[in-house]
Amino acid sequence: MPITPKILLAPLDWGIGHATRMIPLIKNLIHNECEIFIAADGNIRSLLQLEFPKATFITLKGYNVKYSKQKKWLALKIGIQIPIILCSIYKEHRWLKKVVKQYSFDAIISDNRFGLYNSTIPCIYITHQLLVKTGNEFSEKILQKIHFWFINKYTECWVPDYAGEKNLSGQLSHPLVNIPPNVHYIGCLSRFQKNSIIAIKYELLILLSGPEPQRTILEKILLHQLQFLDSKVLFVRGLPATMEQLPFQQNISIKNHLTAQELNEAIEQSKIVISRAGYTTVMDLVKLKKKGILIPTPGQTEQEYLADYLEQNKMFVTAAQDTFNLNEAIKKAAGFNFCIVDFNMDEYKIRVVKLIKKLKNANTN
């Protein structure tokens, strides 16, 4: 009988990007005959259940981080929630000890969930932020040391970016310090596939995501300005667990959520994409070679850095939410010299195969 590794995957609930970038990993693990378990709750669980209805789902509550309505209060809002986050990390670490015994998992893959390490089995931690950007050098050094402490608790840390000078996240994944020895660059993680020939259907595709209330604030800004745009638009709200439907406007189709296949097609059918500067969205747009306008979440310094870095490298256009003007952003993109690098998007499969071989060898000994 073939050995079937049992693997638990758990994405962070900070927006849906941590979950969607796990989709190619999960598909590859299934392709390599692994038994998949997914720990999630809320929107994240709903999204992944649509993609993997045959997987076994285990309820694991998220960190449920809330953002402030105003950028200037974000640091304080996050700071107040630190004790709650630390409590969640402690609880998920204890929770993992129980489920490892209950289900006899062979490995854990955690996307940015700090407490999902266990000394009895291989545990993988996924992050593209080896440097946590705060805008303050002193606090960045402290947070980096804390982050590295957690990374060292794991068997391996997989960074979804490239090791060389040509990469997608700059200092975020290539900090100017000695990184932990268990860090491995695995290349981009994108659930999408590029089709050779596909016709343009939409002038504009809007993809919303990220924590509240900023997701809703941007949604209202965009819906208001779209009233004055005479172009065909597809608006995806990024709410997989929501049943409420917004009314369609004459030239705008509004969807709460699209499956990976539907979204893949929608992006390729669109002339330009407006989205948050989330790293997962960036990887998806790069794989599909699609032009994009990135709007960082106000106060989220990682997204602000990433958007600036990518615009400087001629890959995407960026615009600020508080001064956002749809017509101006579209004009800026029309005159921008986009230059998206042709990356190898299958590097991660090498690391997955190595993990599976390791697990199967351990099971035969």
Looking at every residue in the chain, the average pLDDT score rounds to 89
Give the pLDDT score at 280: 92
Assign 138 to helix, strand or coil: helix
- pLDDT tens digits for range 229-267: 889 999 999 887 777 777 667 789 999 888 888 999 999
The pTM assigned to this predicted structure is 0.88
CA distance 96 to 104: 11
CA distance 282 to 269: 17
Give the pLDDT score at 84: 77
Do 215 and 160 lie in one domain? The reply is no
CA distance 25 to 359: 16
Assign 183 to helix, strand or coil: strand
**pLDDT at 184 exceeding the cut of 90:** yes
| CA proximity to 232, closest of 275, 202, 270, 210 | 202
In a domain, 93, yes or no: yes
Compute the average pLDDT of residues 271-284: 94
| Lowest mean per-residue pLDDT among 29-33, 91-95, 259-263 | 259-263
Do 182 and 209 lie in one domain? The reply is no
Do 174 and 147 lie in one domain? The reply is yes
How does residue 309 score in pLDDT terms, banded at 50, 70 and 90?
very high
In a domain, 25, yes or no: yes
pLDDT greater at residue 88 or residue 104:
104
Do 169 and 277 lie in one domain? The reply is no
Neighbours of 182 (CB within 10 A): 15
- pLDDT tens digits for range 126-175: 999 999 887 777 888 888 899 999 999 999 999 999 998 899 999 999 99
Do 51 and 81 lie in one domain? The reply is yes
Q: At what angle do helices 23-31 and 348-364 cross, to 10 degrees?
A: 50
**pLDDT at 60 exceeding the cut of 80:** yes
CATH of the domain at 330: 3.40.50.2000
304-306-308-313 Cα dihedral, nearest 10 degrees: -170
pLDDT greater at residue 35 or residue 71:
35
Give the pLDDT score at 48: 93
| CA proximity to 130, closest of 82, 78, 180 | 180
Domain of residue 285: give its range: 202-334
**pLDDT at 278 exceeding the cut of 80:** yes
Angle at 125 between CA 124 and CA 131, to 5 degrees: 150
Compute the average pLDDT of residues 205-220: 89
